[in-house]
Structure 1
C-alpha cells in the first residue's frame, strides 16, 4: 500500500497542484464521466458489480467546512445511458469516522463484506429528477475532522459510494470536493484516490484517456485487470523506463489481465496508463472497469492527479546501449 505521508511532499512541491486535484475524473485523466449502472443491469454494459467507491483525503490542518458536489446525480436526461424506460435508482453515501477507508473490504475489488464501513454522514437516492439533470448537487457541509484520520493516507479521509439499487440504466456523473456549496472551489492540499475505477471513454476516437497509479519503493511487479474494454484500441504504459508497453485488453463482458515488471528507475514515480481508442472503428458508449495489484495481491490506488507529475520516458533509462563484440 502506498504511504501518502511521503507522497504529499511530492504533491506540494508541484506548483499549484492542489488546484487540479479536486475533480474526479481528474483533468489530466481526460475521462468524461464516472459510471455506475442499476442493480438489474447486464454486466455487458460495462459495470461488473454496480458500485463505485472514491476516497477524498483532506490535510489535517484544514478546519473549514468542505462539500462534496455531484454533477448529474439523477438517472435520466442528457448524459445517462437509457435501457428501455428510465427505471433506475442510485444510492449516494458519504462516510467518515473509524474504518471508512482503513477497513480492508473498502479497498477490495469485489465490493463484498463491509465496503460501506465507517459512519454514514450523508445520503440521498436519486432516480428521474429533472432538477439535478446536467447540474451540480451538493452534499455537506462536512467538518474535515469527521473523516477518518489516516496520516499514511494524507490526513482526514472521506469515502464516497455510488451504488445502483434498482433498474438497468447507466448513471454518468462527476465529482468535485469543494470549499463552497454553490461552486467548485478547490480545498487546498486535498486529493482523490480510488482502488477500482469505473468510467466512460470518449466517443471521439482521437481522444486519449489516462489513469495514474503511483509505484512505491516496495513494488516489483503489477498485475492489471480490465473489464469490458470491447477491444476498443490499446492500453499502454508510459513511464520513465517504458515507452508504451502494451497491456492485455478485454473483449465484451470479460476480464483481461497482464503482469508487468517494475524497474528500479520506476520506483517512487507514477505510471501513465494510456487508453488509446480504436482508430479504424468508432465504438460509442464504452464503459470500462480497471484495477491494479502489486506482487502481494494488494490493490494499488489510482490518483486524480499524477503524483510527481505526468511521467516522461527517459531514453537513457529505458534503452540499454548494445555492447560491442
Structure 2
C-alpha cells in the first residue's frame, strides 16, 4: 500500500469513527431490512441464497479497550420468523474469527467461497438446530478482547469476522446481529461499525417499504458493477447520489444472476450511494430473499457499510442560467 493511500485510509477511518457510534445492529436502522438470511447447505438456490454462507465483519477502534460481544437474534432454524421447507432439518454454524488473516485474506472478501475464506484464528463457534429456546431470543458470543481481532487501520481498527454457514438441511434461517459492550443487552460499541462485501437479506412483505444499502465511493472509483441474485422481478432497484437522481440498476429474475455497470463521476466521490430496493405495488412477492455485491473498475469487491458514511446522499441538481447580454 502506498504512503498516500495509507494516509487516506487513516483519515477515512477517522471519518467513519466520528459518525458511526450507533452502527452495530446488522441490518442497521437506515437500511430498513427486516432480516439477514442463510439457507441450509442442502437448500435450493431458487429460494434466494446462492452459496449458503454469509460473512459479516465488525470493526472496533484501536482506542477501545473494553470487552465486546457479538449477539445473534434467533440463531436457530425453526419457529416464527424462519422459512420452512418440508421438515425442520437445518443446522446453522456461527463462527467468530480474529487474528492475522481474518479480513486481510483475499478469499474472505470474494463473491464466491473458493479458497481460504475461513481464515484467521477461530475464537468461538456454535451450531444450532431447531430449538424453541432461541426463537425470537438472543445468543451471545464473547467476551472478546478487541486486540483479538486483526489490526487493519484501513478498515478502522481491529476486525472480527463472523461466518454463518448452513451446515446441513434446506430451510431458511432469518436472523439479526448486534455488536455490543454487554453480554445480556445491546449497547453499541462507541466508534465501531459493521461492513460486508456480499450481502444476503430478506425484503419486507410490505410494498410501501423501501430497503437501502450504502457503499462508499472514494476518489479512486470511476465505475462500479453491481451484481444481484434472485430478485424475482420484484419491482426495481435504483441509485441515488449527488449526481444520480434514481439511476436504474438491472435486476434479476428467479434463481439467476444479473449485473449492470454504472459510471461514477467526480461529484459522487467521498460520498455514499443510496441503492434503493423498491417493491412493485401489485402482485406482492412474499418472502423475497436477495443477494447483492459491488465491484469497482478493477473487479475488486467494495464494502457496504451499516450506515451511510457522510449521511444519506441527496441528488444535487443545478439549473444553468445564461447571463443576459
TM over 0.5: yes
1:301 to 303, 316, 323: 303
Count of residue pairs brought into register by the alignment:
319
Map of 1:265-284 to 2, 5 A cutoff?
265-284=267-286
Structure 2: distance between partners of 1:320 and 1:269: 24
For normalisation by structure 2, the TM-score amounts to 0.95
Q: Is residue 2:184 matched to residue 1:182?
A: yes
The one of 18, 28, 43 equivalent to 2:21 is 18
Which residue of the other structure, out of 291, 309, 320, is the alignment partner of 2:293?
Answer: 291
Query: How is 1:94-113 mapped onto 2 (pairs within 5 angstroms)?
Result: 94-113=96-115
Separation in structure 1 between the aligned mates of residue 14 and residue 69 of structure 2, nearest angstrom: 25
Aligned mate of 1:119, from 118, 121, 124: 121
Partner residue in 2 for 1:148:
150
Cα offset, 1:72, TM superposition = 0.3
Give me the whole-angstrom Cα distance separating, in 1, the residues matched to 2:145 and 2:314: 38
Quote the residue 2:236 is aligned against.
234
Q: Is the 8 A contact 1:223 1:292 kept in 2?
A: yes
1:77-132 C-alpha deviation (Å, 9 max, x unpaired): 01100000000000100000000000000000001110010000000000111111
Deviation at 1:4, TM superposition (A): 4.7
Q: What residue is the counterpart of 1:244 in the other structure?
A: 246
Shift in Å, 1:7: 2.5
Question: Aligned partners of 2:247, 2:321: CA distance in 1, in Å?
Answer: 19
Task: Return the offset for 1:13.
Answer: 4.3
Whether the 8 Å contact between 2:17 and 2:156 is mirrored in structure 1 is no
| Local SS of the residue matching 1:236 | strand
Q: Where does residue 8 of structure 1 map in the other structure? A: 13
Task: Give the structure 1 partner of residue 172 of structure 2.
Answer: 170
Distance 2:247 2:84 in 1: 36
- Shift of residue 133, structure 1, vs aligned partner: 1.0
Return the alpha-carbon distance in structure 1 between the equivalents of residues 87 and 220 of structure 2.
49
The CA RMSD over aligned residues, in Å, is: 1.6
Q: Give runs of aligned pairs for residues 23-62 of structure 1, distance below 5 A.
A: 23-62=25-64
Matched residue, 2:312: 310
Are the equivalent residues in 2 in contact too, given 1:148–1:158 (CA < 8 A)? yes
Asked if the contact 1:95/1:160 (under 8 Å) is kept, the reply is: yes
Render the CA deviation track for 1:162-197: whole Å, top value 9, x for unaligned. 000100000000000000000000000000000000
2:133 alignment partner in structure 1:
131
User: Within 2, Cα distance between the matches of 1:134 and 1:268?
Assistant: 39
**CA distance in 2: counterparts of 1:155 and 1:33, whole angstroms:** 26
Q: CA deviation at 1:323?
A: 11
Task: State the distance in 2 between where 1:5 and 1:195 align.
Answer: 20
Residue 11 of structure 1: how far off its partner (Å): 2.9
Distance 1:65 1:88 in 2: 32
Map 1:194-233; keep pairs closer than 5 Å. Answer: 194-233=196-235
**Could you state the TM-score of these two structures normalised by the residue count of structure 1?**
0.95
2:88: which partner in 1? Answer: 86
